Amino acid sequence: MNIRELETAVKAAADFNRLRILNMLAVRGMCVCELAEVLQIAQPSVSRHLKKLNRGGFIDSRHDGRWTEYYLSPSNRFAEQLLEDLAELLRDDDTAASDRARMKSARRESICGIE
């Protein structure tokens, strides 16, 4: 990892909603509509956050039927170390706990009206 890659990773992690996304993806893979539901922000905003997290080496994606599912997939040492520390750092955080609780009911089939 060179200094430019480190800069990209640090910038990707340095955002309130992106830290919340990483916290949720540590529990399970999620699609944009599920993340938007929990975060209460627009899907295009979630997509921009996901793009930055991907460029920073934190996440990857795979197609799952109609949806693209995002999941943790650290591709550099900084991302790997931050993700390890994040679980401990956010364990007692109220926002992180609330997100983890709310994501249990955020299911793509019901959010997108496809039962």
For the chain, how many helices (H) and strands (E)?
A: 7, 2
pLDDT in tens, 19-53: 999 999 999 999 999 999 999 999 999 999 999 99
Tell me, which fold does domain 3-103 have in CATH?
Arc Repressor Mutant, subunit A (1.10.10)
CB 94 within 8 A of CB 49: no
Listing DSSP states for 47-80 in one string gives HHHHHHHHHTTSEEEEEETTEEEEEE---SHHHH
Kindly list the domain boundaries of the chain, sorted by start residue. Answer: 3-103
The pTM score is 0.91
- The three-state secondary structure class of 101 is helix
